[in-house]
Amino acid sequence: MPSRDQRRKETEYLFNMIAIDHIDKKIAAIPALNVAAGNRGQERIEIPVHHGVWPGMPQALEALILTADLQMRESGEMPPTERALLGVVVAERLEAMAADGKLPSAKKTGVLLAGDFYTDPALRKRGTTGNVEEVWKAFAERFRWVVGVAGNHDLFRERATFGDVFRKHANIFPLDGDVMERDGLCMGGISGIIGNLRKPWRHDEASFHAQLREILTSTPDILLVHEGPNDPAKRYRGNAFIRERLLDGEFGGLLVNGHCHWPEPITRLSKRGPTVINVDARVVVLTRTPLS
């Protein structure tokens, strides 16, 4: 197999001229139960599944699934204790779409999780914290592999650490300041957000920047973070410090994040800066070739 440097040369480093021009085609909508604004009861919503084409995807893959912030439960009339986390339902739905030929083969599809997949079964309050390993495992059982970071509301066996929770799952790769390579993609990730260090999955600016600098020395193709940059030109919410550090580091790859919802899922921070895909409360499916 050619090295990553050779592959980049052959493809004219498409990550620096990212070929994902837009992500605007909604191919599905998945019903969900959400906590209404102000914690005023429940509301039924739909999570959109968007599609984009990325011709520069490695040949070993036919698709990538990107998602985050599915802090909801399945929609139905069952008792609260029987409502699955929405991430589990999304994994099942996307597998069914692949089986029906509406998406590429699940065996050739990787999954990128950008954090925050828990909500209280009774849907009484937004922003609750709890165990989400079942969401990661639901995707791993159905697709080629899962690479992800934790959100600030995620726990794994009641702890704000990955520990060895996925030790028996050879196709799950949690990232927290780490870099790994799979199917020709170099991927790095930072879990959590910048904030109060007394709370779970928090960094101060200095430690976040140190992890980011270390990851970027590997020149990753994809960077996964839960909290992402803002885009002042489009008035998209996010962290200005993260945006400035990304541009300082001359990262030109693909950044995947959640945490703050954007009206549109994709932007470019600068002419040679990263392409950012925001997957807060949405699913984005990237395929190497157009869907039939």
Domain assignment present for residue 237? The answer is yes
Domain assignment present for residue 236? The answer is yes
User: pLDDT tens across 101-112, in order?
Assistant: 999 999 999 999
Domain containing 156 equals: 4-287
Which one, of 101, 102, 126, 108, lies nearest residue 116 by Cα?
126
Q: Are strands 178-182 and 185-190 parallel, antiparallel or unpaired?
A: antiparallel
Tokens coding 50: 């968007």
Tell me the mean pLDDT in the region 83-98. Answer: 97
User: pLDDT tens across 32-70, in order?
Assistant: 999 988 888 889 999 999 999 998 899 999 999 999 999
Whether the pLDDT of residue 142 is over 70: the answer is: yes
Q: How far apart are CA 280 and CA 200, in angstroms?
A: 19
Whether the pLDDT of residue 219 is over 50: the answer is: yes
pLDDT of residue 230: 96
Beta bridge partners of residue 285, listed in sequence order = 51, 65
What separation in angstroms does the CA of 92 have from each of 81, 86, 89, 151, 281? 19, 10, 5, 22, 17
Which one, of 195, 193, 201, lies nearest residue 225 by Cα?
193
pLDDT of residue 86: 98
Domain assignment present for residue 292? The answer is no
pLDDT of residue 80: 77
Domain assignment present for residue 34? The answer is yes
Whether the pLDDT of residue 21 is over 60: the answer is: no
Whether the pLDDT of residue 17 is over 90: the answer is: no
Min mean pLDDT across 20-29, 69-78, 113-122, 159-168 is at 20-29
Whether the pLDDT of residue 81 is over 70: the answer is: yes
Which one, of 209, 193, 111, 212, lies nearest residue 154 by Cα?
193
Domain assignment present for residue 137? The answer is yes
Domain assignment present for residue 170? The answer is yes
Whether the pLDDT of residue 12 is over 60: the answer is: no
pLDDT of residue 112: 98
Q: Which residues contact 161 (CB under 8 A, 6 or more apart)?
A: none
User: pLDDT tens across 161-216, in order?
Assistant: 999 999 999 999 999 999 999 999 999 999 999 999 999 999 999 999 999 999 99
Which stretches within the chain are classed as H helix?
A: 4-10, 86-99, 133-142, 205-216, 240-248
Domain count, the chain: 1
Min mean pLDDT across 112-116, 173-177, 270-274 is at 270-274
DSSP letters along 51-66, please?
EEE-TTS-TT-SEEEE
pLDDT of residue 1: 40
Domain assignment present for residue 273? The answer is yes
Confidence of residue 13 (pLDDT cuts 50, 70, 90): very low
User: pLDDT tens across 68-78, in order?
Assistant: 999 999 998 88
Tell me the mean pLDDT in the region 212-236. Answer: 95
Q: How far apart are CA 116 and CA 118, in angstroms?
A: 6
The CATH number that applies at residue 69 is 3.60.21.10
Tokens coding 11: 């493809």
Domain assignment present for residue 206? The answer is yes
More confident residue, 64 or 4: 64
Tell me the mean pLDDT in the region 130-145. Answer: 98
